[in-house]
Amino acid sequence: MNFLKTLFGIGPDPREVLIPLYNSVVTEARDPAWYAEMGVPDTLDGRFDMIAAILSLVIVRAEAEGNAGREPSARLTEVFIDDMDGQLRQLGIGDVVVGKHIGNMIAAMGGRLTAYREAIGQGAVLEEALVRNLWRGEPGPDAQPTLVAGRMRAIKARLDKTDWAALRANGIGG
């Protein structure tokens, strides 16, 4: 019976259980303090980059679970892709080009994940990655990469202390 459910796509979507976790990532990324106090550009790109940054921290946390975190990490990425697809369509981007945009977003997310995974514990290296990604290498006078890096490290520390099952069930909290 399970084989038939899988074959015909009947049954619960395994991503559904991760939507609350993803929504908590988006809520954190939309916190006005990132933009008003830390100078992250309050633009479509800036908001995408903040979601990518926070989601990267959650994926790194999932990776710490080894095999148990592999599938949820992949599913969480799928939820992100579905969300970005929906956002693009709401902006009026049509079917013909939405795939190209999604491909670019996936590549950008992958690059940011790699950068933040490598830089999170390395002091100024994280700030350099943030300047490169959040401010496209040109931080304006309001940019506060040190504050952004500090808050990201605090989020990572909180995630590292949180049981994976609790994190999946309750989100990243605040």
d(CA 146, CA 63): 26
pLDDT band (50, 70, 90) for residue 1: very low
Q: Is 35 helix (H, G, I), strand (E, B) or coil?
A: helix
Q: What is the pTM of this model?
A: 0.88
What are the pLDDT digits (tens) for 23-81? Answer: 999 999 999 999 999 999 999 899 999 999 999 999 999 999 999 999 999 999 999 99
Q: How many helices (H) and strands (E) does the chain have?
A: 9, 0
- Dihedral angle computed from the Cα positions of residues 145, 148, 153 and 158, in that order, rounded to the nearest 10 degrees: 180
Say if CB 67 and CB 3 are below 8 A apart. Answer: no
Domain boundaries, the chain: 15-169
CA angle 48, 40, 89 (to 5 degrees): 25
What are the pLDDT digits (tens) for 123-148? Answer: 899 999 999 999 999 998 999 999 99
